[in-house]
Structure 1
Amino acid sequence: MTEVKTLPRHSPLANVKGVANDARPKIVHEEVYQKLRRAIISGQLEPGRTLSVRGLAAEFGVSTMPAREAIRQLVALGALELTETRRVSVAQMNEDKLSEISEARLALEPELAARVLTQLKRQSAAREKLAIKLSKIDATLDRAIERGDSAAYARYNSEFHFKLYEAAKSPVYLGLVESLWLQIGPFMRVVIGRLGTSSLVDQHKEAVSALRADDVTKLTKAIRNDILEGMTNIARTDV
Protein backbone atom coordinates (compact mmCIF):
# COMPACT_ATOMS: atom_id res chain seq x y z
CA MET A 1 0.00 0.00 0.00
CA THR A 2 1.24 3.47 -0.82
CA GLU A 3 2.46 5.26 2.29
CA VAL A 4 0.44 8.36 3.10
CA LYS A 5 2.73 11.16 4.19
CA THR A 6 1.70 13.70 6.78
CA LEU A 7 2.27 17.39 6.34
CA PRO A 8 5.85 18.38 7.35
CA ARG A 9 6.51 20.80 10.16
CA HIS A 10 7.20 23.63 7.70
CA SER A 11 3.74 23.13 6.23
CA PRO A 12 1.93 26.32 5.13
CA LEU A 13 -0.82 25.18 7.49
CA ALA A 14 1.52 25.01 10.49
CA ASN A 15 0.77 28.59 11.54
CA VAL A 16 -2.99 28.21 11.31
CA LYS A 17 -4.57 28.52 14.73
CA GLY A 18 -5.99 25.36 16.23
CA VAL A 19 -9.70 24.77 16.55
CA ALA A 20 -11.28 24.71 19.98
CA ASN A 21 -11.90 21.10 21.00
CA ASP A 22 -14.90 22.05 23.12
CA ALA A 23 -16.73 23.51 20.12
CA ARG A 24 -19.64 21.63 18.64
CA PRO A 25 -18.53 18.98 16.06
CA LYS A 26 -20.26 20.82 13.20
CA ILE A 27 -18.42 24.05 14.03
CA VAL A 28 -15.06 22.26 14.32
CA HIS A 29 -15.55 20.58 10.96
CA GLU A 30 -16.55 23.86 9.31
CA GLU A 31 -13.46 25.66 10.62
CA VAL A 32 -11.14 22.90 9.41
CA TYR A 33 -12.89 22.84 6.03
CA GLN A 34 -12.73 26.62 5.58
CA LYS A 35 -9.04 26.86 6.52
CA LEU A 36 -8.03 23.99 4.24
CA ARG A 37 -10.20 25.42 1.48
CA ARG A 38 -8.54 28.85 1.77
CA ALA A 39 -5.10 27.24 1.68
CA ILE A 40 -5.97 25.51 -1.61
CA ILE A 41 -7.58 28.57 -3.23
CA SER A 42 -4.61 30.75 -2.30
CA GLY A 43 -2.10 28.26 -3.72
CA GLN A 44 -0.44 27.39 -0.42
CA LEU A 45 -0.60 23.67 -1.26
CA GLU A 46 1.14 22.72 -4.47
CA PRO A 47 -0.38 20.27 -7.02
CA GLY A 48 0.14 16.65 -6.06
CA ARG A 49 0.85 17.48 -2.42
CA THR A 50 0.01 14.44 -0.27
CA LEU A 51 -2.31 14.94 2.68
CA SER A 52 -3.57 12.62 5.39
CA VAL A 53 -6.42 12.67 7.86
CA ARG A 54 -4.08 12.24 10.81
CA GLY A 55 -1.69 14.87 9.53
CA LEU A 56 -4.42 17.46 9.09
CA ALA A 57 -5.95 16.62 12.46
CA ALA A 58 -2.56 17.20 14.09
CA GLU A 59 -2.05 20.48 12.21
CA PHE A 60 -5.39 21.86 13.37
CA GLY A 61 -5.37 20.29 16.82
CA VAL A 62 -8.62 18.38 16.30
CA SER A 63 -9.81 14.78 16.14
CA THR A 64 -9.68 12.85 12.88
CA MET A 65 -13.44 13.12 12.27
CA PRO A 66 -13.59 16.82 11.22
CA ALA A 67 -10.38 16.43 9.21
CA ARG A 68 -11.83 13.41 7.37
CA GLU A 69 -15.08 15.25 6.65
CA ALA A 70 -13.22 18.33 5.31
CA ILE A 71 -11.21 16.09 2.99
CA ARG A 72 -14.39 14.33 1.82
CA GLN A 73 -16.02 17.64 0.89
CA LEU A 74 -12.97 18.90 -0.97
CA VAL A 75 -12.66 15.63 -2.89
CA ALA A 76 -16.30 16.08 -3.96
CA LEU A 77 -15.48 19.61 -5.17
CA GLY A 78 -12.50 18.40 -7.23
CA ALA A 79 -9.89 20.21 -5.13
CA LEU A 80 -8.47 16.96 -3.72
CA GLU A 81 -8.11 13.52 -5.26
CA LEU A 82 -8.65 10.14 -3.60
CA THR A 83 -7.05 7.10 -5.25
CA GLU A 84 -8.03 3.45 -4.98
CA THR A 85 -5.32 3.06 -2.34
CA ARG A 86 -7.00 5.80 -0.29
CA ARG A 87 -4.16 8.22 -0.95
CA VAL A 88 -5.30 11.86 -0.75
CA SER A 89 -3.52 14.63 -2.61
CA VAL A 90 -4.06 18.08 -4.07
CA ALA A 91 -5.68 17.51 -7.47
CA GLN A 92 -3.59 17.38 -10.62
CA MET A 93 -4.53 18.95 -13.94
CA ASN A 94 -4.97 17.84 -17.52
CA GLU A 95 -5.39 19.76 -20.77
CA ASP A 96 -9.16 19.29 -21.09
CA LYS A 97 -9.84 20.26 -17.49
CA LEU A 98 -7.62 23.33 -17.77
CA SER A 99 -9.41 24.44 -20.95
CA GLU A 100 -12.82 24.06 -19.33
CA ILE A 101 -11.77 25.97 -16.20
CA SER A 102 -10.31 28.73 -18.37
CA GLU A 103 -13.56 29.12 -20.31
CA ALA A 104 -15.58 29.19 -17.09
CA ARG A 105 -13.31 31.81 -15.50
CA LEU A 106 -13.56 34.01 -18.58
CA ALA A 107 -17.34 33.76 -18.47
CA LEU A 108 -17.74 34.47 -14.76
CA GLU A 109 -14.94 36.65 -13.42
CA PRO A 110 -15.18 39.67 -15.76
CA GLU A 111 -18.94 39.73 -15.08
CA LEU A 112 -18.32 39.59 -11.33
CA ALA A 113 -15.84 42.47 -11.64
CA ALA A 114 -18.43 44.48 -13.60
CA ARG A 115 -20.90 43.97 -10.77
CA VAL A 116 -18.46 45.67 -8.42
CA LEU A 117 -18.92 48.93 -10.31
CA THR A 118 -22.69 48.42 -10.37
CA GLN A 119 -22.61 47.93 -6.60
CA LEU A 120 -20.42 51.01 -6.07
CA LYS A 121 -22.15 53.25 -8.61
CA ARG A 122 -21.92 56.90 -7.60
CA GLN A 123 -19.81 55.90 -4.57
CA SER A 124 -16.45 57.41 -5.45
CA ALA A 125 -15.20 57.28 -1.87
CA ALA A 126 -15.96 53.56 -1.61
CA ARG A 127 -14.29 52.89 -4.96
CA GLU A 128 -11.19 54.79 -3.86
CA LYS A 129 -11.06 52.90 -0.56
CA LEU A 130 -11.20 49.59 -2.42
CA ALA A 131 -8.63 50.80 -4.96
CA ILE A 132 -6.21 51.65 -2.14
CA LYS A 133 -6.62 48.18 -0.61
CA LEU A 134 -6.06 46.51 -3.97
CA SER A 135 -2.98 48.65 -4.68
CA LYS A 136 -1.44 47.60 -1.38
CA ILE A 137 -2.06 43.94 -2.12
CA ASP A 138 -0.60 44.35 -5.60
CA ALA A 139 2.52 46.05 -4.21
CA THR A 140 3.05 43.10 -1.87
CA LEU A 141 2.51 40.76 -4.80
CA ASP A 142 5.16 42.62 -6.83
CA ARG A 143 7.67 42.14 -4.01
CA ALA A 144 6.88 38.42 -3.98
CA ILE A 145 7.62 38.28 -7.71
CA GLU A 146 10.94 40.07 -7.17
CA ARG A 147 11.88 37.49 -4.51
CA GLY A 148 10.74 34.59 -6.66
CA ASP A 149 8.43 33.54 -3.81
CA SER A 150 5.84 31.36 -5.54
CA ALA A 151 3.75 30.68 -2.42
CA ALA A 152 3.48 34.39 -1.56
CA TYR A 153 2.71 35.26 -5.17
CA ALA A 154 -0.15 32.73 -5.29
CA ARG A 155 -1.50 33.96 -1.97
CA TYR A 156 -1.55 37.67 -2.83
CA ASN A 157 -2.77 37.06 -6.36
CA SER A 158 -5.84 35.27 -5.00
CA GLU A 159 -6.26 37.93 -2.31
CA PHE A 160 -6.30 40.67 -4.98
CA HIS A 161 -8.96 38.94 -7.04
CA PHE A 162 -11.25 38.02 -4.17
CA LYS A 163 -10.95 41.41 -2.46
CA LEU A 164 -12.27 42.86 -5.71
CA TYR A 165 -14.92 40.20 -6.33
CA GLU A 166 -16.33 40.29 -2.78
CA ALA A 167 -17.20 43.97 -3.29
CA ALA A 168 -19.77 42.91 -5.92
CA LYS A 169 -22.03 41.48 -3.18
CA SER A 170 -23.00 38.67 -5.57
CA PRO A 171 -22.83 35.45 -3.51
CA VAL A 172 -23.96 33.11 -6.29
CA TYR A 173 -21.32 34.34 -8.74
CA LEU A 174 -18.70 34.42 -5.98
CA GLY A 175 -19.44 30.82 -4.98
CA LEU A 176 -19.05 29.66 -8.57
CA VAL A 177 -15.75 31.51 -8.96
CA GLU A 178 -14.46 30.08 -5.68
CA SER A 179 -15.24 26.56 -6.90
CA LEU A 180 -13.04 27.21 -9.95
CA TRP A 181 -10.20 28.60 -7.84
CA LEU A 182 -10.31 25.48 -5.67
CA GLN A 183 -9.16 23.60 -8.76
CA ILE A 184 -6.79 26.17 -10.26
CA GLY A 185 -5.36 27.87 -7.14
CA PRO A 186 -2.47 25.42 -6.59
CA PHE A 187 -1.32 25.93 -10.18
CA MET A 188 -0.96 29.69 -9.78
CA ARG A 189 2.41 28.93 -8.21
CA VAL A 190 3.84 27.96 -11.61
CA VAL A 191 2.95 31.33 -13.14
CA ILE A 192 5.62 33.22 -11.21
CA GLY A 193 8.39 31.44 -13.10
CA ARG A 194 7.26 33.22 -16.26
CA LEU A 195 6.61 36.66 -14.80
CA GLY A 196 10.21 37.73 -14.35
CA THR A 197 10.76 38.08 -18.09
CA SER A 198 7.26 39.29 -18.91
CA SER A 199 6.93 42.68 -20.58
CA LEU A 200 3.14 42.53 -20.64
CA VAL A 201 0.94 45.23 -19.13
CA ASP A 202 0.30 44.76 -15.40
CA GLN A 203 -3.39 43.91 -15.53
CA HIS A 204 -3.87 44.35 -11.79
CA LYS A 205 -2.79 47.98 -12.05
CA GLU A 206 -5.06 48.37 -15.07
CA ALA A 207 -7.94 47.00 -13.00
CA VAL A 208 -7.26 49.44 -10.16
CA SER A 209 -7.11 52.33 -12.62
CA ALA A 210 -10.42 51.25 -14.15
CA LEU A 211 -12.01 50.99 -10.72
CA ARG A 212 -11.01 54.54 -9.88
CA ALA A 213 -12.31 55.79 -13.23
CA ASP A 214 -15.58 53.84 -12.90
CA ASP A 215 -14.79 52.34 -16.32
CA VAL A 216 -16.52 48.97 -16.60
CA THR A 217 -15.16 48.23 -20.08
CA LYS A 218 -11.57 48.77 -18.98
CA LEU A 219 -12.10 46.78 -15.77
CA THR A 220 -13.58 43.72 -17.45
CA LYS A 221 -10.86 43.85 -20.12
CA ALA A 222 -8.14 43.93 -17.45
CA ILE A 223 -9.61 40.94 -15.61
CA ARG A 224 -10.09 39.02 -18.84
CA ASN A 225 -6.51 39.68 -19.96
CA ASP A 226 -5.19 38.74 -16.53
CA ILE A 227 -7.01 35.40 -16.69
CA LEU A 228 -5.80 34.73 -20.24
CA GLU A 229 -2.18 35.46 -19.32
CA GLY A 230 -2.24 33.32 -16.19
CA MET A 231 -4.03 30.35 -17.76
CA THR A 232 -1.78 30.47 -20.82
CA ASN A 233 1.31 30.32 -18.61
CA ILE A 234 -0.14 27.35 -16.71
CA ALA A 235 -0.92 25.60 -20.00
CA ARG A 236 2.72 25.95 -21.06
CA THR A 237 3.82 23.81 -18.14
CA ASP A 238 3.35 20.08 -17.75
CA VAL A 239 -0.13 20.07 -16.20
Structure 2
Amino acid sequence: MTEELNARRDVFSPDTASTRLHQALRTRMCEGDFTPGEVISIRRIAAEYGTSAMPAREALRWLVTEGALVFSDSRKIIVPKLSRERFQEVLYARKNLETEVSRRAFGHITAPDVDELVRIDEQINGAIAQGDIVRYMRGNYQFHFLIYRLSQSCVLLPLIEILWLQYGPSMRYICTRWGASSIADDHHRDVTEALRQGDQEGFCRAIAADIEQGMMLLN
Protein backbone atom coordinates (compact mmCIF):
# COMPACT_ATOMS: atom_id res chain seq x y z
CA MET A 1 0.00 0.00 0.00
CA THR A 2 2.85 2.40 0.84
CA GLU A 3 4.44 1.78 -2.57
CA GLU A 4 1.11 2.42 -4.28
CA LEU A 5 0.68 5.73 -2.47
CA ASN A 6 4.23 6.75 -3.33
CA ALA A 7 3.56 5.98 -6.97
CA ARG A 8 0.38 8.07 -6.88
CA ARG A 9 2.22 11.02 -5.36
CA ASP A 10 5.05 10.80 -7.89
CA VAL A 11 2.81 10.43 -10.92
CA PHE A 12 3.99 13.76 -12.36
CA SER A 13 7.70 13.15 -11.64
CA PRO A 14 9.94 11.95 -14.47
CA ASP A 15 10.72 8.25 -14.13
CA THR A 16 14.51 8.38 -14.22
CA ALA A 17 17.23 6.51 -12.37
CA SER A 18 18.01 9.59 -10.28
CA THR A 19 14.37 10.24 -9.27
CA ARG A 20 13.84 6.58 -8.32
CA LEU A 21 17.06 6.59 -6.33
CA HIS A 22 16.14 9.89 -4.68
CA GLN A 23 12.79 8.50 -3.55
CA ALA A 24 14.40 5.31 -2.21
CA LEU A 25 16.96 7.31 -0.24
CA ARG A 26 14.29 9.69 1.07
CA THR A 27 12.36 6.75 2.48
CA ARG A 28 15.47 5.33 4.08
CA MET A 29 16.26 8.71 5.67
CA CYS A 30 12.74 8.95 7.11
CA GLU A 31 12.99 5.40 8.42
CA GLY A 32 16.29 6.15 10.17
CA ASP A 33 18.50 3.90 8.05
CA PHE A 34 21.25 6.52 8.26
CA THR A 35 22.68 7.98 11.46
CA PRO A 36 23.80 11.54 12.33
CA GLY A 37 27.39 12.15 11.30
CA GLU A 38 27.45 9.25 8.85
CA VAL A 39 29.37 9.88 5.63
CA ILE A 40 27.37 9.11 2.47
CA SER A 41 29.56 8.64 -0.61
CA ILE A 42 28.42 8.74 -4.21
CA ARG A 43 30.42 5.60 -4.95
CA ARG A 44 28.81 3.70 -2.08
CA ILE A 45 25.24 4.63 -3.09
CA ALA A 46 25.92 3.82 -6.74
CA ALA A 47 27.27 0.41 -5.75
CA GLU A 48 24.37 -0.35 -3.41
CA TYR A 49 21.79 0.39 -6.09
CA GLY A 50 23.70 -0.82 -9.12
CA THR A 51 23.72 2.55 -10.90
CA SER A 52 26.38 4.76 -12.41
CA ALA A 53 27.79 7.68 -10.45
CA MET A 54 25.60 10.28 -12.19
CA PRO A 55 22.18 9.22 -10.78
CA ALA A 56 23.71 8.75 -7.33
CA ARG A 57 25.28 12.21 -7.46
CA GLU A 58 22.01 13.84 -8.57
CA ALA A 59 19.97 12.04 -5.91
CA LEU A 60 22.37 13.02 -3.12
CA ARG A 61 22.52 16.64 -4.26
CA TRP A 62 18.73 16.70 -4.25
CA LEU A 63 18.77 15.51 -0.63
CA VAL A 64 21.27 18.24 0.20
CA THR A 65 18.89 20.89 -1.16
CA GLU A 66 16.12 19.40 1.01
CA GLY A 67 18.28 19.67 4.13
CA ALA A 68 18.49 15.92 4.66
CA LEU A 69 22.24 15.88 3.93
CA VAL A 70 24.97 18.50 4.08
CA PHE A 71 28.36 19.05 2.48
CA SER A 72 31.06 19.01 5.15
CA ASP A 73 33.63 19.99 2.51
CA SER A 74 33.81 19.97 -1.28
CA ARG A 75 33.84 16.18 -1.45
CA LYS A 76 32.25 14.78 1.70
CA ILE A 77 28.47 14.48 2.17
CA ILE A 78 27.21 13.67 5.68
CA VAL A 79 23.99 13.17 7.60
CA PRO A 80 23.72 16.30 9.78
CA LYS A 81 23.69 16.16 13.56
CA LEU A 82 20.73 18.10 14.92
CA SER A 83 21.17 20.09 18.10
CA ARG A 84 18.74 19.49 20.93
CA GLU A 85 17.05 22.81 20.16
CA ARG A 86 16.77 22.02 16.45
CA PHE A 87 15.28 18.59 17.15
CA GLN A 88 12.72 20.12 19.52
CA GLU A 89 11.80 22.60 16.77
CA VAL A 90 11.32 19.76 14.29
CA LEU A 91 9.04 17.93 16.72
CA TYR A 92 7.07 21.12 17.42
CA ALA A 93 6.52 21.63 13.70
CA ARG A 94 5.64 17.96 13.26
CA LYS A 95 3.03 18.11 15.99
CA ASN A 96 1.24 21.07 14.44
CA LEU A 97 1.43 20.00 10.81
CA GLU A 98 0.73 16.32 11.37
CA THR A 99 -2.24 16.96 13.61
CA GLU A 100 -3.77 19.13 10.89
CA VAL A 101 -3.03 16.71 8.06
CA SER A 102 -4.49 13.88 10.16
CA ARG A 103 -7.67 15.90 10.59
CA ARG A 104 -7.86 16.22 6.81
CA ALA A 105 -7.18 12.51 6.32
CA PHE A 106 -9.85 11.38 8.80
CA GLY A 107 -12.75 11.30 6.35
CA HIS A 108 -10.72 9.30 3.81
CA ILE A 109 -9.64 6.52 6.17
CA THR A 110 -11.57 3.30 5.51
CA ALA A 111 -12.05 0.16 7.62
CA PRO A 112 -9.39 -1.71 5.56
CA ASP A 113 -7.01 1.19 6.21
CA VAL A 114 -7.59 0.82 9.95
CA ASP A 115 -6.96 -2.92 9.69
CA GLU A 116 -3.69 -2.17 7.93
CA LEU A 117 -2.71 0.31 10.65
CA VAL A 118 -3.42 -2.34 13.30
CA ARG A 119 -1.29 -4.86 11.38
CA ILE A 120 1.61 -2.39 11.15
CA ASP A 121 1.27 -1.55 14.84
CA GLU A 122 1.47 -5.23 15.76
CA GLN A 123 4.72 -5.46 13.82
CA ILE A 124 5.98 -2.34 15.61
CA ASN A 125 5.16 -3.88 19.01
CA GLY A 126 7.01 -7.03 18.02
CA ALA A 127 10.03 -4.96 17.00
CA ILE A 128 9.99 -3.10 20.34
CA ALA A 129 9.74 -6.38 22.27
CA GLN A 130 12.77 -7.70 20.39
CA GLY A 131 14.72 -4.45 20.71
CA ASP A 132 14.81 -4.14 16.93
CA ILE A 133 15.17 -0.38 16.42
CA VAL A 134 15.53 -0.64 12.65
CA ARG A 135 12.23 -2.51 12.25
CA TYR A 136 10.54 -0.16 14.73
CA MET A 137 11.62 2.92 12.76
CA ARG A 138 10.44 1.41 9.49
CA GLY A 139 7.06 0.48 10.94
CA ASN A 140 6.60 3.86 12.60
CA TYR A 141 7.18 5.64 9.28
CA GLN A 142 4.72 3.32 7.49
CA PHE A 143 2.09 3.82 10.20
CA HIS A 144 2.17 7.61 10.12
CA PHE A 145 2.46 8.06 6.38
CA LEU A 146 -0.35 5.66 5.59
CA ILE A 147 -2.52 8.19 7.43
CA TYR A 148 -0.91 11.36 6.11
CA ARG A 149 -1.00 10.40 2.44
CA LEU A 150 -4.72 9.78 2.70
CA SER A 151 -5.14 13.50 3.39
CA GLN A 152 -4.28 14.10 -0.29
CA SER A 153 -2.65 17.35 0.79
CA CYS A 154 -0.38 18.88 -1.86
CA VAL A 155 0.99 21.53 0.51
CA LEU A 156 1.27 20.07 4.02
CA LEU A 157 2.45 16.58 3.09
CA PRO A 158 5.68 17.73 1.36
CA LEU A 159 6.47 19.91 4.40
CA ILE A 160 5.97 16.95 6.73
CA GLU A 161 8.23 14.79 4.58
CA ILE A 162 10.98 17.41 4.81
CA LEU A 163 10.66 17.35 8.61
CA TRP A 164 10.87 13.55 8.66
CA LEU A 165 14.05 13.65 6.57
CA GLN A 166 15.62 15.54 9.47
CA TYR A 167 13.77 13.62 12.20
CA GLY A 168 14.55 10.04 11.09
CA PRO A 169 18.33 9.87 11.66
CA SER A 170 18.21 11.74 14.97
CA MET A 171 15.30 9.64 16.29
CA ARG A 172 17.19 6.49 15.32
CA TYR A 173 20.16 7.74 17.36
CA ILE A 174 17.96 8.55 20.38
CA CYS A 175 16.19 5.19 20.28
CA THR A 176 19.50 3.34 19.95
CA ARG A 177 20.93 5.29 22.87
CA TRP A 178 17.98 4.79 25.24
CA GLY A 179 16.85 1.36 24.06
CA ALA A 180 13.48 -0.07 23.04
CA SER A 181 11.93 0.62 26.45
CA SER A 182 12.02 4.35 25.68
CA ILE A 183 9.47 3.91 22.89
CA ALA A 184 7.32 1.16 24.39
CA ASP A 185 4.39 3.42 25.26
CA ASP A 186 3.47 4.87 21.91
CA HIS A 187 -0.08 6.03 21.17
CA HIS A 188 -0.74 3.99 18.05
CA ARG A 189 -3.45 1.91 19.72
CA ASP A 190 -5.19 5.12 20.79
CA VAL A 191 -5.04 6.22 17.15
CA THR A 192 -6.66 3.05 15.81
CA GLU A 193 -9.25 2.90 18.62
CA ALA A 194 -10.33 6.47 17.90
CA LEU A 195 -10.67 5.59 14.22
CA ARG A 196 -12.79 2.54 15.07
CA GLN A 197 -15.07 4.75 17.15
CA GLY A 198 -15.28 7.52 14.56
CA ASP A 199 -13.78 9.96 17.07
CA GLN A 200 -11.99 12.60 15.01
CA GLU A 201 -10.87 14.73 17.95
CA GLY A 202 -9.63 11.71 19.89
CA PHE A 203 -7.77 10.57 16.77
CA CYS A 204 -6.03 13.93 16.39
CA ARG A 205 -5.17 14.05 20.10
CA ALA A 206 -3.59 10.60 19.85
CA ILE A 207 -1.47 11.66 16.87
CA ALA A 208 -0.29 14.74 18.79
CA ALA A 209 0.46 12.68 21.92
CA ASP A 210 2.48 10.19 19.88
CA ILE A 211 4.68 13.00 18.57
CA GLU A 212 4.99 14.57 22.03
CA GLN A 213 6.50 11.32 23.24
CA GLY A 214 9.58 12.19 21.16
CA MET A 215 9.81 15.51 22.99
CA MET A 216 9.77 13.71 26.33
CA LEU A 217 12.79 11.61 25.32
CA LEU A 218 14.85 14.80 25.27
CA ASN A 219 14.10 15.64 28.90
Q: Which band: TM-score by shorter chain?
A: 0.7 to 0.9
Whole-Å Cα distance in 2 between the matches of residues 198 and 94 of structure 1?
21
Q: Any conservation in 1 of the 2:120–2:143 contact (CA below 8 Å)?
A: yes
Greater relative contact order: 1 or 2 (C-alpha under 8 angstroms, separation 6 or more)? 2
- Kindly state the Cα deviation for residue 194 of structure 1 after the two structures are TM-superposed: 5.0
Whole-Å Cα distance in 2 between the matches of residues 214 and 204 of structure 1?
15
Asked if residue 101 in structure 1 is aligned to residue 85 in structure 2, the reply is no
Gaps of 5+ in 1: 1-24, 121-125
- Kindly state the Cα deviation for residue 155 of structure 1 after the two structures are TM-superposed: 0.7
* Seq. identity, %: 36
The number of aligned residues is: 204
Whole-Å Cα distance in 2 between the matches of residues 56 and 91 of structure 1?
17
Q: Aligned in 2, Cα 1:178/1:198: closer, same or farther, shift over 3 Å?
A: closer
- Which entry has the higher C-alpha Rg, 1 or 2? 1
Where does residue 88 of structure 1 map in the other structure? 77
- Larger % of helix: which? 2
Amino acid in structure 2 at the alignment position of 1:82: F
Scaled by the length of structure 2, the TM-score of the pair is 0.86
Whole-Å Cα distance in 2 between the matches of residues 199 and 69 of structure 1?
38
Q: Any conservation in 2 of the 1:119–1:169 contact (CA below 8 Å)?
A: no
Provide the secondary structure at the position in 2 that maps to 1:50. Answer: coil
Q: Any conservation in 2 of the 1:54–1:64 contact (CA below 8 Å)?
A: yes
More displaced 10-residue stretch of structure 1: 183-192 or 41-50: 183-192
- Kindly state the Cα deviation for residue 181 of structure 1 after the two structures are TM-superposed: 0.1
From 119, 125, 128, give the equivalent of 1:142.
125
Where does residue 207 of structure 2 map in the other structure? 223
Where does residue 49 of structure 2 map in the other structure? 60
Where does residue 51 of structure 1 map in the other structure? 40
Q: Any conservation in 1 of the 2:37–2:80 contact (CA below 8 Å)?
A: yes
Q: Aligned in 2, Cα 1:199/1:129: closer, same or farther, shift over 3 Å?
A: closer
Where does residue 144 of structure 2 map in the other structure? 161
Q: Aligned in 2, Cα 1:102/1:174: closer, same or farther, shift over 3 Å?
A: same
Please give the residue correspondences for 1:117-196 in structure 2 after superposition, counting only pairs within 5 Å.
117-120=106-109, 126=110, 128-189=111-172, 190-191=174-175, 193-196=178-181
From 41, 47, 59, give the equivalent of 2:30.
41
**RMSD, aligned α-carbons:** 1.9
Whole-Å Cα distance in 1 between the matches of residues 59 and 202 of structure 2?
39
Where does residue 210 of structure 1 map in the other structure? 194
Gaps of 5+ in 2: 1-13
Whole-Å Cα distance in 1 between the matches of residues 208 and 55 of structure 2?
38
Runs of 4+ residues deviating >4 angstroms: 197-200
Q: Any conservation in 2 of the 1:110–1:223 contact (CA below 8 Å)?
A: yes
Scaled by the length of structure 1, the TM-score of the pair is 0.80
